Amino acid sequence: MNPRVPQEPPAVDWQDSIPVPFRLVAADAGVHLGTDRAGRAVTLPIGPEPRRVAVLGESLFGRLFGLRMLAVGARVTAATRVPDQWQSIARVAGDRLTVADGVSGWPARQPAPPTREGGPQVLVCDLRRPPSAALADGPWRTVLHVTRDAPRRSHLWSEPDALLALDARFAGTAGRLLGGGAARVTASLAPGEIALFRSSGSEILRPDVSPGETALLTPDLR
């Protein structure tokens, strides 16, 4: 039996062997908000780009958002008029959650990618006065303001990256901020639905809240 003579591999440039250009793209990742009317997941992209989020509704949504940001490795500061309602979250978050009565000095740590140094920095504010939109200038920063009465002179509210209306009763305010189309979408909300507006369009969703999240979002009355 004659030994097989090894053949030289063909000379091929790796770039020529790929039929289409090879490139990396950003994944569609973010914080889960809920599911739309077709059952598809709705996320709010969170990454190195600064995010300014305006929310028409109750402060409970701010706590839910803060909890989910903690779950993905961010450090959260709650500038709140109801600090007692953050107590359950504070017990499990440790030093990754700071509860304050104002936004002065935020962020206390330099924002950074997940798992590095300070990590992503998030400000959740339910105070009457909105935080400055400039606080979100720079990478790995997210600023959210939740209120039932949107301020008329606020850069954060005039040019948010995302605006959420948590109830049909906010249709008039949504219309003032974003126009008649937003008013109609908000007015169409059924109980428990949320309208999400961003540059790519609008979506209607229902928040998915797990039993574990519900337990942490329920004020501790002890």
112 CB neighbour count, 10 Å cutoff: 16
Helix/strand/coil for 185: helix
- Residue 204 — φ and ψ, nearest 5°? -115, 130
**Averaged pLDDT for residues 41-50:** 90
Instruction: Give the percent of the chain with pLDDT over 70.
Output: 86
pLDDT tens column, 108-154: 999 998 877 789 999 999 999 999 999 999 999 999 999 999 998 89
Pairing verdict, β 201-206 and 194-198: antiparallel
pLDDT averaged over every residue in the chain: 89
Burial class (CB in 10 A: 0-12, 13-18, 19+), 57: middle
From 4-8, 14-18, 31-35, 213-217, the region with the lowest mean pLDDT: 14-18
Size of the chain in residues = 222
Burial class (CB in 10 A: 0-12, 13-18, 19+), 77: buried
